[in-house]
Amino acid sequence: MVCDGRGRPLGMLITGGNVNDTTMMTAVLEDIRVPRAGKGRPRTRPDRVLADKGYPSKANRAWLRSRGIAVTIPERDDQIAHRRKRPGRPIDFGDQQQARYKGRNVVERCFNRLKQWRGIAMRS
């Protein structure tokens, strides 16, 4: 699921239980369609993506970078250890990124609100 900063769902895909989140990230982000006030095409690209440690991959970061979307995704411990062994571009996750990452709980609250509806809760 993709939601905005207020917890309103913007896009969602339902998959089987054995499909990991990392592979579905681009498909969910491509599902975003936010109508503009007045005339014009709907907005399809967010300014920034906040995601948890289930989403970092080279493919996802490259896809987001190619579209000019800023990213706040912490690296997993195994990726950090691997990066120390090989030279490469470091992923900056300093104080600013940590402050932004605190806003990721909006997605969890959106899921919580959706699951309070009995029809959705019975099927999830």
Note the pLDDT tens digit of each residue in 57-80: 889 989 999 999 998 888 777 776
Report the distance separating Cα 124 and Cα 112, nearest Å. 12
Query: With bands split at pLDDT 50, 70 and 90, how would you rate the model's confidence at 15?
Result: confident
Percent of the chain with pLDDT over 70: 89
